[in-house]
Amino acid sequence: MRILSASFLLFCLLLSAVVSAEEAYRTVQPLLHTTETVLHEPLTGADGSPLEITSTIVTIQPGEETAWHKHGVPLYAYILAGELTVDYGAQGVRQFPVGSAFMEAMDHWHRGRNLGRETVRILAVYLGTANGQKVIPKAD
């Protein structure tokens, strides 16, 4: 019973972490949401503060785009398939082909777009704290 309760709690935490991402992204597949290692060691920063890691696969179909958003925690992105175009507004537009790895901008509003014919799939790994907002949608 205890394992079932812990599994349900983990599922709920992962789902809540992804809900904020879905405000900006249409298709998000949860992979991992944790505050500890595989050996149950707590994840902590150099100053001892607790850390939280969340990873997802973001899928963007041809012709689709995300909402304008920014990130409240560092985001490592790796393009698994397709080519992602990111519009950073006044900061310009950048292309990220398959195999690109980068740390996404945090303090600039941006929007991802799939201008190609192939589905874009992104491994997104959020590195932060439990109170850090992973995806912050821009108000209209």
Tens digit of pLDDT at every position of the chain (140 positions) = 555 444 434 444 434 434 344 456 678 999 999 999 999 999 998 999 999 999 999 999 999 999 999 999 999 999 999 999 999 999 999 999 999 999 999 999 999 999 999 999 999 999 998 778 888 999 87
Query: What's the rounded Cα separation, in Å, for the pair 4 and 28?
Result: 24
Query: What's the rounded Cα separation, in Å, for the pair 56 and 25?
Result: 11
Residue type, 119: T
| Backbone torsions φ then ψ of 139, nearest 5 degrees | -70, 145
Query: What's the rounded Cα separation, in Å, for the pair 45 and 73?
Result: 13
pLDDT at 22: 45
Predicted structure pTM score: 0.80
Q: Can you give the residue ranges of every domain in the chain?
A: 2-137
Query: What's the rounded Cα separation, in Å, for the pair 66 and 75?
Result: 16
Give bridge partners of residue 125 from the DSSP assignment: 55, 76
What CATH number was assigned to the domain covering residues 2-137? 2.60.120.10
Collapsing DSSP to helix, strand or coil, 106 comes out as: coil
pLDDT at 2: 52
